[in-house]
Structure 1
Amino acid sequence: MTQDRRSPRPRLTDVAEVAGVSMKTVSNVVNGYAPVSEPTRSKVLAAVERVGYRPNLSARNLARGRSGVIVLAVPRLELPYFASLAGSVVEAAASHGWFVLIHQTGGDADGERRALLDDFPQRVDGMILSTQHLDPGALSARRETLPLVLLGDHRLHGAAPHVGIDNRAAALEAVRHLIAGGGRRLAMIGAAPSVTPDDRTAGMLEGLREAALPARPELLRAITANTGEEGERVTAQMLDEISEPPDALFAVTDWVAMGAIRALQAHGLSVPDDVAVIGFDDIPYASSTSPSLTTIAPDRDAIARLAVEALEQLVTPGGSGDRGAASSPADTADTDLHAPFRLVLRESTRPVA
């Protein structure tokens, strides 16, 4: 094996020499540009390990006309769901040769609009944005040169590719579990107005209709922030204002559910004996609370993978590596990708017979 003395780092030519194949074949295997037979692929990968070759991501991105950096814009990293999601996006992006610049929007419309201005200290290839407040007008007014993928519950149909879970179906599964465990007076903390329900509220209402149970307005409470403090405040206010407490409670997120449990316990109610509680998101702390929290668990790894793959298709459609050939928003705006979810049973809900 020959090796340039000026460049002690193993090169593709070294891999090709050991594998006994052409440089083009090695490049196709390493970069995934073209199909290669499995025996040849295995031979090349064995040679990669033998010579210790590691791709130079900066050089590869430069050759492909890419910066090698993408932006992940989330409301706040102190919210456990987004911190965990960010980790999944970083891992998914690494498999595409991307580093991730994480940007906090603050969770308000102005912060999300500022993120769309593309005013970053370095060139980036695209953005994955978790939005809660943007409207189609804000997206249509942005500079369209930066590929964009949207995350979260707030859908803007026809604006950009969107990745999430089926929140209505997930909420319906949560409510069915509460009802199967004996719940008849169901509360929801974080409910949207019934005239314009969001997907999770719609799933809650569908579950009640399915079981022929009334949707009691006094038990459907909105929140002003996705925090444990707000969940505790709103739940305590509800308990102070009603004569009969609920026997089951669906919180719009785990963080809110934990605050709701604190309020229930402060009012002398036992979870789950008096009130069964279910959350949403399966944040890292959900299994460590007392009682541990039953919840809906979105597949965050799948969300991250789908978002990065959608962004890759915008940046380099067809794997051409040509940034200038990126798909226009009109080509991909109707893409709506769903990741799976599952119900995680823990101590905060009653067992189902």
Structure 2
Amino acid sequence: MGATMQDVALAAGVSIKTVSNVINDYPYVRPATRERVLAAIDQLAYRPNLSARGLRSGKTGIIGLAVPELRENYFAELADAVIRAAEKSGLGVVVEQTNGDRESELRVLSRARTHYMDGILLSPVGMGQADASLLDVPFPLVLLGERIFGGPVDHVTMHNVSSAGAAVEHLLSIGRRRIALVGAEGDDVSDASSWSLRVRGYRRALEQAGIPVDEHLVRRTEHWSRAGGAAALHELIDEGHDFDAVFALNDALALGVLRGLQEAGRRVPDDVAVVGFDNVDEGQFAVPSLTTVDPGREEIARTAVALLVERINEKGTKAPARTMKAEFSIVSRESTGGADAPRVAQ
């Protein structure tokens, strides 16, 4: 038999009602008391049952999804895709925003509310490769994104290097040779962050085409936002650099680039072609519509939920961790002179 609420109350030296208040996030519990109850819950691995289904099976029918920022369209649309995929498995989803903060991501893996859930999907940004061992948790967990590879849990990610390379190859195929990149966050491209992997793909594609990388055309941005894209574009123009295409590391940046080009009187795609990354819905309604990399968001959501469901239902010896990558495509639209039909990258 697992621990009961009474066991938690005895261990924490509080009443059963206080334990219930903590579990239900009742706001009027003293911080010291709350921490004592949470510590007892973790120590005893207490898992409350929330429904009749839980009483029968020990499962809640709820999974968690923790993402860095819901204001960023990619993560909002990923959350939507996860919710739809989970519904098909009869699961509800609790979505949490971590703001890309490492401590917030670690709290997702340790707080009492994880006991409400059968498993968690986590997209870390603050955590890095050095934190891989911290993913060894006593509940089903599937990792999303690029920050940590080779960890002890299932991992679903995208082909960042090859898909970024395909975006550059698309620009090369329409005769562009002075291709700027917008969205770098530093000089070190050896880590596994999204920006570094996409920069690596950009550089590789140019090198394979025999085109030297002009470092003046590699632009940093503080944020992957429309404002960041527009500011980087204006810097390129103000500094007098010659370019005939821009590869932006996400669609928000690319939409800002489109705005900046319009403000500067540059025609798209005649003077400058633009490619983004993520295939967010907004891109197809931009003027001109945005060519972009579709990284397989729907497949990522379906695969992640399926892996988590397998782990939730797993019995006996735990199977080895798996890493899976979704297929990508280049969606060719008006910003590179194409139609609105996707071209699948091989």
TM-score by length of 2: 0.76
Matched residue, 2:137: 144
Matched residue, 1:203: 201
Counterpart Cα distance in 2 of 1:245 and 1:160: 46
Counterpart Cα distance in 1 of 2:156 and 2:124: 11
What code does the residue aligned with 2:199 have? T
Matched residue, 2:255: 258
**Unaligned residue ranges in structure 2 (runs of 5+):** 1-49, 191-195, 340-346
Q: Which runs of 4+ in 1 moved over 6 A?
A: none
Matched residue, 1:332: 320
Matched residue, 1:189: 182
1:215 aligns with 2:203: no
Matched residue, 2:305: 308
Quick one: structure 1 residues 138 and 351, their matched pair in 2 at CA, closer, same or farther if it must change by over 3 Å? closer
Over the matched positions of the two proteins, sequence identity in percent amounts to 38
What code does the residue aligned with 2:325 have? H
Q: CA deviation at 1:115?
A: 1.9
**Unaligned residue ranges in structure 1 (runs of 5+):** 1-56
Is the Cα–Cα contact under 8 Å of residues 136 and 159 in structure 1 kept in the other structure? no
**Equivalent residue runs for 1:1-353 within 5 Å:** 58-120=51-113, 123-141=116-134, 144-191=137-184, 193=186, 195-197=188-190, 198-241=196-239, 243-317=240-314, 320=315, 325=316, 327=318, 331-333=319-321, 335-351=322-338
Provide the aligned C-alpha RMSD in A: 2.2
Q: CA deviation at 1:332?
A: 3.4
Report Cα offsets for 1:192-226 as digits up to 9, x if no partner.
54542522111111110111111111111122222
Quick one: structure 1 residues 228 and 263, their matched pair in 2 at CA, closer, same or farther if it must change by over 3 Å? same
Is the Cα–Cα contact under 8 Å of residues 132 and 150 in structure 2 kept in the other structure? no
Q: CA deviation at 1:267?
A: 2.0
Counterpart Cα distance in 1 of 2:202 and 2:272: 17
1:171 is paired with a residue whose SS is helix
Quick one: structure 1 residues 206 and 192, their matched pair in 2 at CA, closer, same or farther if it must change by over 3 Å? farther
Is the Cα–Cα contact under 8 Å of residues 129 and 147 in structure 2 kept in the other structure? no
What code does the residue aligned with 1:175 have? V
Higher relative contact order (CA 8 A, sep 6+): 1
Quick one: structure 1 residues 200 and 142, their matched pair in 2 at CA, closer, same or farther if it must change by over 3 Å? closer
TM-score by length of 1: 0.75
Choose 92-101 or 135-144, whichever is displaced more: 135-144
Choose 156-165 or 293-302, whichever is displaced more: 156-165
2:337 is paired with a residue whose SS is coil
Matched residue, 1:30: none
Between the two proteins, the alignment pairs up a number of residues equal to 285
Is the Cα–Cα contact under 8 Å of residues 315 and 326 in structure 1 kept in the other structure? no
Q: CA deviation at 1:345?
A: 0.8
Counterpart Cα distance in 1 of 2:241 and 2:171: 18
Report Cα offsets for 1:115-168 as digits up to 9, x if no partner.
222342861111101112312443424671122111123233224221122111
Counterpart Cα distance in 2 of 1:131 and 1:238: 32
1:190 is paired with a residue whose SS is strand
Counterpart Cα distance in 2 of 1:121 and 1:338: 26
Counterpart Cα distance in 1 of 2:231 and 2:104: 26
Report Cα offsets for 1:274-321 as digits up to 9, x if no partner.
11000011101011111100001122221111101111222222xx5x
Matched residue, 2:43: none
Is the Cα–Cα contact under 8 Å of residues 314 and 326 in structure 1 kept in the other structure? no
1:120 is paired with a residue whose SS is helix
